[in-house]
Amino acid sequence: MKALSGIEIRAVAATVPTQVARTQDYEFLTMEERQRFQKVTGIAARRIVRDGQCASDLCMTAAETALAHVGWARESVGALIMITQTGDQPVPATSIVIQNKLGLPQTCVAFDVNLGCSSYPYGLAIVGSMMQSLGIMRALLLIGDVSSRVCAKNDKSAWPLFGDAGTATALELDERASPMYFDLMSDGAGKDAIIIPGGGLASRRPPNDGPVQQEMGADGTYRRPDNLILRGADIFSFAISKVPHSIKRAMDASGKTGDAVDYLVLHQANKMINDTIAKKLGFPLDKVPTSIEQYGNTSSASIPLTLCTNSDFFRDTRSIATSGFGVGLSWGSAVFNLPANSVTTCVESDATY
């Protein structure tokens, strides 16, 4: 892929809800299983929205943080793209509703993108290349999910993994910006590895009349058809075999070796996956910041949330390699520079808009 030039990241902001769900309190695992789960996944706690708070709300708060950080006039924002798989409603796109709520001008391009864990590299590529080709000076990339609202609480393979979070990244055209390098991949053959089978129109699980019932899945777990199903072992296998090569391709395109990259920021899927990827690429773990311990797998939001959770690391300009991987299957890597003081500290908020 060609490098993307002239796009600078001005701010990265993240928001999590205040409600904490601790692995040690998860009643569907025994005490022994809770300890083992925490050791293998690295997840000690997650943040879960209270009734009514949406991904759009978390992203709105993050967008306000980012806008305050950069001091932009709202009239100057030319694009707002939201990437989520837990939008406010099927129609219209959540980003368009946010354009109005944030007080952005009608000249603002707004649309949603349906991606999960690969959202950050994809989002930077989508927004950055659109800004560059259409001459849009300033844009907001909102990425977030409220996975707790689509997982069954009794689903031991999904519920204790996922946390809720929303993020905002402010991007600006700037000829002096260092190029961004991407590697973006897809494999729809793995569609069943993470899937919400019901609620869509493809008729695999058409909506029925009457109340929604829980049904027992092949793994013996009861879920509603509109609950998320995760086949963790298949995601694990995919991640450790495909992702290191993707990061390597993006690094090769940038001409950077591991020594020249300050931090490797990975999607926070689970500790064993990320330790394996880091080891394969030769990155020491002190160059691989995390957020999974306190926030769990925050799906699309995990990479910018990890930046904000470790904002102290990014006071100076840093060279970053990043990779998101999961639902689709979709995976992507990006190598770019984060300007000094562009990463804000993660904000806790239960605000709804």
Partner 1 sequence: MSIEIFIKNFAFAIEVQPETLNAETEYKALDIWDSLNTLSVIAMADADFNVALSGQDVESSRTISNLWTIVEAKIVHA
End-to-end CA distance of the chain: 39
Please tell me whether residue 129 binds partner 1 under the rule CB under 8 A: no
Please tell me whether residue 191 binds partner 1 under the rule CB under 8 A: no
Q: Say whether the peptide bond before residue 329 is cis (omega within 30 degrees of 0).
A: yes
Distance between CA atoms of residues 81 and 43, nearest Å: 30
Distance between CA atoms of residues 281 and 233, nearest Å: 21
How many Cβ atoms from other residues are within 10 Å of residue 176's Cβ?
A: 6
Please tell me whether residue 285 binds partner 1 under the rule CB under 8 A: no
Does the active-site annotation cover 346? no
What is the smallest separation between the CB atom of 230 and partner 1, expressed in angstroms?
11
Part in contact with partner 1 (CB under 8 A); list of ranges 33-41, 92-100, 203-211, 322-330: 33-41
Please tell me whether residue 272 binds partner 1 under the rule CB under 8 A: yes
Nearer to partner 1, 44 or 272 (CB): 272
144 φ, ψ to 5°?
A: -175, 160
Distance between CA atoms of residues 175 and 4, nearest Å: 11
Does the active-site annotation cover 245? no
What is the smallest separation between the CB atom of 165 and partner 1, expressed in angstroms?
24
Among candidate residues 267, 274, 337, 346, the one labeled active-site is 267
Nearer to partner 1, 224 or 279 (CB): 279
Tokens 């990241």 -> residue = 9
Among candidate residues 227, 270, 274, 297, the one labeled active-site is 297
Does the active-site annotation cover 69? no
Q: What proportions of the chain, in percent to the nearest 5, are helix, strand and coil?
A: 35, 25, 40
Distances (CA, A) of 54 to 85, 198, 345, 351: 11, 20, 21, 10
Please tell me whether residue 40 binds partner 1 under the rule CB under 8 A: yes
Amino acid residing at 9: I
Please tell me whether residue 36 binds partner 1 under the rule CB under 8 A: yes
Site for partner 1 in 194-253 (CB under 8 A): 231-234, 236-237, 240-241
Please tell me whether residue 154 binds partner 1 under the rule CB under 8 A: no
Q: What is the DSSP letter of 157?
A: T
Among candidate residues 108, 117, 151, 308, the one labeled active-site is 117
Please tell me whether residue 37 binds partner 1 under the rule CB under 8 A: yes
User: What is the distance of C-alpha 218 from the center of its chain?
Assistant: 28
Please tell me whether residue 68 binds partner 1 under the rule CB under 8 A: no
Q: Which residues bind partner 1 (CB under 8 A)?
A: 33, 36-37, 40, 157, 231-234, 236-237, 240-241, 270, 272, 276, 279
Catalytic center residues: 117, 267, 297
